[in-house]
Amino acid sequence: MKVNIGSADKVVRIVVGLALLSLLFLLEGKARWFGLIGLVPLLTAFMGFCPLYTLLGVSTCPKR
């Protein structure tokens, strides 16, 4: 797996992921489980790899 997520992209993914996870505590009923979607941006940020970016040929990582 090549790293294809840059540092600014990581920060955005972490913020969005935490915001979505907070829905688990803010919403009631079945709608609260949509907050689990926040795990996806968190996992991709910590791995530094996004499979969708690979399919689209995108990389926000600076060239070495």
Q: How does pLDDT run across 10-62, given as a tens digit for each residue?
A: 999 999 999 999 999 999 999 999 999 999 999 999 999 999 999 999 999 88
The domain of 17 spans 7-56
Domain count, the chain: 1
- The pTM for the full model equals 0.89
45 located within any domain:
yes
Q: What angle do CA 27, 32, 36 make, to 5 degrees?
A: 135
39 located within any domain:
yes
For 32, 54, 58, the CA distances from 36, given in Å and listed in that order, are: 8, 23, 25
For 16, 20, 24, 62, the CA distances from 29, given in Å and listed in that order, are: 22, 16, 10, 43
63 located within any domain:
no
Structure tokens at 6: 């840059």
